[in-house]
């Protein structure tokens, strides 16, 4: 009988630890995050989220997403604008903070479980990898170039232009936007 009590006690302990280790937040709490206010001496980056390649590939798009609610007509989920860059911020930190502020849905695989040793972004705004053909998914470009590292390992500099870009063809279909606000 002593053994039974011991076993039950340890099971209760493990369950309690699991619940304690999980962080529960309500929807309002999660979306409370605020980007810092821009001051003259703060470092900034330009940040945007684009999915305009889908507009040329609507035949491949998952029928559940074929609505202007999920795919904006101009393909801009988040138009380029300036955000404060904190010291040591990676591209992923910025993405997390800015999507949280604008209430844009985001799903990612943490660096600890992803095969690349870096965070892997699975979906933004309900648009997931493979939602638009077999070569589709999220990638990011800094000043129009692919940095070739994971987004939680790349630390952008002051004035960089960061574009989260939905590709339908393995990242080969990038085109710079016309008359885009380029950083000074």
Partner 1 sequence: MSAYSKLHPLTCLVGYLCILIPAMFIKNPVIQLTSLLGSVLFLSVICDRKTIGSDLGFYIPLFVLMAVTNPLFSHNGATPLFFMNGNPVTLEAVIYGIFMSVMITSVLLWCKCYGIIINSDKIVYLFGKSLPKLSLLLSAALKFIPELKRRFRLTSSAQKTLGQYSTESYTDRIKRMCGVFSSVIGWSLENAVEKNNSMKARGYGMPGRSNYSIFKMTAADKTISVLYIACLSLTLAGAFTGKLYFSYYPTVSGIPDSPLALASYFSYFVCAMIPIIVESEEAIRWKYYRSKI
Smallest gap from Cβ 159 to partner 1, in A, equals 29
CB-nearer residue toward partner 1: 5 or 37: 5
Residue of 86, 107, 90, 99 whose CA lies nearest to 49: 99
CB-nearer residue toward partner 1: 62 or 89: 62
Rg of the chain on CA atoms, in Å = 20
Smallest gap from Cβ 107 to partner 1, in A, equals 4
CB-nearer residue toward partner 1: 67 or 148: 67
Smallest gap from Cβ 167 to partner 1, in A, equals 19
Smallest gap from Cβ 7 to partner 1, in A, equals 5
Q: Do the bridges between strand 120-124 and strand 127-128 make them parallel or antiparallel, or are there none, so unpaired?
A: antiparallel
CA dihedral 153, 70, 131, 58 (to 10 degrees): -120
CA distances from 107 to 4, 110, 177 (A): 42, 10, 26
Smallest gap from Cβ 98 to partner 1, in A, equals 15
The count of other CB atoms within 10 Å of the CB of residue 69 is 9
CA dihedral 2, 4, 7, 13 (to 10 degrees): -90
Residues that bind partner 1 (CB under 8 A): 1, 3-4, 7, 22-27, 29-30, 62-65, 70, 105, 107, 123, 126, 128
Smallest gap from Cβ 70 to partner 1, in A, equals 6
CB-nearer residue toward partner 1: 6 or 38: 6
Coil vs helix vs strand at 94: helix
Q: How far is the C-alpha of 85 from the C-alpha of 121, rounded, in Å? A: 20
CB-nearer residue toward partner 1: 26 or 39: 26
CB-nearer residue toward partner 1: 10 or 149: 10
């Amino acid at each position: 009988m002593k053994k039974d009590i011991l076993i039950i006690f340890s099971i209760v302990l493990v369950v309690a630890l699991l619940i304690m280790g999980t962080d529960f937040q309500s929807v309002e709490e999660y979306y409370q995050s605020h980007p810092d206010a821009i001051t003259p001496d703060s470092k900034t980056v330009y940040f945007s989220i684009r999915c305009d390649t889908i507009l040329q590939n609507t035949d491949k798009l998952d029928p559940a997403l074929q609505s202007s609610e999920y795919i904006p007509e101009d393909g801009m989920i988040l138009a380029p604008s300036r955000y404060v860059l904190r010291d040591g911020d990676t591209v992923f930190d910025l993405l997390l903070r800015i999507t949280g502020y604008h209430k844009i849905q985001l799903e990612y695989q943490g660096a600890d479980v992803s095969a690349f040793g870096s965070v892997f972004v699975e979906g933004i705004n309900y648009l997931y990898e493979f939602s638009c053909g077999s070569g589709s998914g999220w990638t990011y470009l800094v000043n129009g170039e692919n940095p070739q590292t994971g987004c939680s390992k790349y630390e952008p500099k002051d004035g960089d232009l960061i574009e989260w870009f939905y590709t339908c063809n393995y990242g080969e279909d990038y085109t710079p936007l016309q008359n885009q606000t380029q950083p000074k």
